Chains A and B, each alone.
Chain A
């Protein structure tokens, strides 16, 4: 039955990814993954495309390997071996979830200077309703749009550029519009147009759905670990439940392979 469940799940993920592909094919511009996902924890503003997501991919592949090894030990009825490999698999799953939490936080909080649809400029993060990853604005377009931008948005932009806290942004709000515009346009920032709104919804929706699978996989693996520890499978005479949990865990890895392809590589 696990196989039939996984097949239905494969169709669910397939439908999500294909719907994403359809929307992406139907618009002229899409966010460039190398620009969106180029940061790494503790690396500041270094431009490191693909680095963090490849770490996540390797974590998941490796935890898949420890899962097969656990299944393998189960065939040999080696309880200690199953326990050790299950612990490693659980740790791998938790590490992956931690990485995803960091990535989401980074996207949801890092603000970028963007031309909004009402013609004004503002610093916005990547959410399900906002997408700052459109094509790059020229300097003249930037200055023209800044003229139309209200005071509070100008203050917001200036404090984003200066990476300043509350106190400094209070100082900025004392400046006049012209001074702020002067300061912003002199900073040589990289302003963009707003990208298709669908990007955030698809990214957070699909990686979130996958992350939820990883989370439930970790829960299942913890249950299996406890049952192994209590000797349930030794009493039963086989470790088939470990094998079924393994199927689910490999499926989660399999889905990630495709999510990785669709969101980060192409």
Chain B
């Protein structure tokens, strides 16, 4: 009965023989992704500094950073938290509810954007009055 002292929560049989190689490999992958994110972060900073920031490029790089973050999350959950070695049904129990986040994010960000439109146009009764104040930025920026 000794195996019953281990609760059924952890459903996979841990490999006692396995080395720490895959752990360090994951560490290097995570570090590399973080460094890549920082490089892109600095790139965004430098694009943003000019007088006419290229909005599209900034948006593109921000999208890339989001994807890299998801990759990092995958490695942490799958290797460090061992979810990748659990049985399939258990993985689905955890991952499936998280799909709600897709709707959650899309709906709420659209809501926020709609508020901005309403505010800038007085609920559609006038044209958008908001303009980015670039000339002011040019004169005032010192550092």
Contact = CB atoms under 8 A, between A and B. Distances in A.
Contact of A254 (B48, B77, B113, B136): B77
A102 B13 CA distance: 43
B139 interface: yes
B137 A251 contact: no
Nearest to A239: B14
B137 A65 contact: no
B124 interface: no
Interface string B68-109: 010011001101110000000010011001100100110011
Given A54-B34, A61-B27, A138-B135, 5 more contacts: A21-B109, A27-B116, A190-B141, A237-B2, A261-B65
| Contact-size category for B | 35 or more
Interface of B: 2, 5-7, 9-10, 14-16, 18, 20, 23-24, 26-27, 30-31, 34, 37-38, 40-42, 44-45, 48, 62, 65-66, 69, 72-73, 76-77, 79-81, 90, 93-94, 97-98, 101, 104-105, 108-109, 111-113, 115-116, 119-120, 130, 133, 135-137, 139-143
Interface stretch (A69-77, A92-100, A169-177, A210-218): A69-77
Closest 3 CB pairs of A and B: A25-B112, A136-B140, A22-B112
A135 B137 contact: yes
5 contacts: A10-B98, A22-B111, A26-B119, A68-B23, A261-B69
Contacts of A136: 136-137, 140-141
Given A25-B113, A188-B142, A257 B72 contact: yes
B45 A49 contact: yes
B98 A69 contact: no
Interface stretch (A1-9, A124-132, A159-167, A222-230): A1-9
Contacts, number: 157
A238 interface: yes
Interface in A59-84: 61-62, 64-65, 67-69, 72, 75-76
A76 B20 CA distance: 12
A19 interface: yes
B99 to A, nearest CB: 12
A84 to B, nearest CB: 13
B22 to A, nearest CB: 10
Most B C-beta atoms less than 10 A away, residue of A15, A32, A65, A75: A65
Given A3-B94, A68-B80, A261-B65, A61 B31 contact: yes
Nearest to A27: B116
A3 B95 CA distance: 11
